[in-house]
Amino acid sequence: PRIQYHDLHPTPADLAAEVLAGLRQKPRCIPPKFFYDAEGSRLFDAITRLPEYYPTRTEMGILQTHAPEIAARVGTGALLVEPGGATPAKARLLFDGLQPCAYVPMDISRDHLWVAAEQVAAEYPWLEVHAACTDFTRLLELPPNTPPGVRVAFFPGSSIGNFNPDDAVAFLTTVAELVGPGGYLLIGVDLKKDPERLEAAYDDADGVTAAFNLNLLRRINRELGADFDLQAWRHQVRYNAEHGRVEMHLASVRPQAVQLAGERFEFDAGETIHTENSYKYHVDEFQALARRAGFWPDAVWLDPDALFSVQLLAV
């Protein structure tokens, strides 16, 4: 069989507990992982096609252009492991050059993972697919029966930017342990640039990112029976230069109270709920972070405008 499924039975995140804990804090926050219900996933997909949101198309251009060099460095016959591999559009750009011995997508979303695994297996009949349903932030381990080969982890999209730097080091440390000595990490990292360009990427003219951010409150209303008035919150984006991150917030347009799970939360006019950080790095800053996790910089590829980087790191 060309596809093997391994269900590592991830525990679903506790929306109620995490939202209540985040709203009890000041400043208030809600973790960005809760953006991705069905509607949030659809909106994120639309974001990746926006003219202002340069990361997706820029990274795909880099991967396409440099696939032969990536293959030359890593060698063919590697075991390609993709945490978050439920949307393999980017891994596809690597398969022909890399000729991996197997592809191991890992994701917490069972349905997305299974669909993606079937599509890849249909499109690449020569490729073994070992799909693992797991919360890779908590359990990053290879499923049984994966063939031997140099292990190459692939983590595109600058998803690493949604971790704060200490959590990024902790996660990358588990990746270094997974791939082991001789293994690699190929990672997409968004670069520091003009704050106006960054803010536009997270505050597009069509309001798709605003809808994505506000959908979090819609989800909380639906799943937790809260009574957020969606007209009374605004999408807010700021580049925080001190921390080198784009922040997304939801700002209360007036003083208001919200009921959630029997608790009452009062918000001042202008008070915000912090919903996401997206850290941006200089190439050397990210290399320093990766070194803390046990990696050595091997190669870096940029687009011609130096907007985005694809970095190869070795253990």
Contact footprint for ligand AVI (CB under 6 A):
47, 55, 157-159, 161-162, 202, 209, 276, 278
- Return the half-sphere exposure (C-beta side, CA atoms, 13 A cut-off) of residue 195: 11
Secondary structure in 3-state letters for 127-180: CCEEEEECCCCCCCCCCCCCCCCCEEEEECCCHHHHCCHHHHHHHHHHHHHHHC
CB of 118 to ligand AVI, least distance (A): 24
> C-alpha 264: how far from its chain's center?
32
CB of 23 to ligand AVI, least distance (A): 20
Give the pairing type, strands 28-29 and 272-279.
Answer: parallel
For ligand AVI, give the closer residue by CB, 128 or 190. 190
CB of 160 to ligand AVI, least distance (A): 8
For ligand AVI, give the closer residue by CB, 55 or 100. 55
Q: d(Cα 170, Cα 59) in Å, to the nearest integer?
A: 24
Which residue's beta carbon is nearest to the bound ligand AVI?
A: 278
Output the CA torsion 146→152→154→158 (10° steps). 150
Q: d(Cα 73, Cα 52) in Å, to the nearest integer?
A: 32
For ligand AVI, give the closer residue by CB, 151 or 249. 249
CB of 305 to ligand AVI, least distance (A): 17
- In contact, 106 and 79? CB cutoff 8 Å: no
- The token duo for 260 is 């959630």
CB of 53 to ligand AVI, least distance (A): 6
What value does the CA radius of gyration of the chain take, rounded to a whole number of Å? 20
- The token duo for 98 is 């890399």
- The token duo for 156 is 């595109």
For ligand AVI, give the closer residue by CB, 47 or 133. 47
For ligand AVI, give the closer residue by CB, 213 or 287. 213
For ligand AVI, give the closer residue by CB, 177 or 199. 199
CB of 277 to ligand AVI, least distance (A): 8
- In contact, 162 and 278? CB cutoff 8 Å: yes
For ligand AVI, give the closer residue by CB, 100 or 212. 212
Neighbour count for residue 22 (Cβ, 10 Å): 17
CB of 137 to ligand AVI, least distance (A): 13
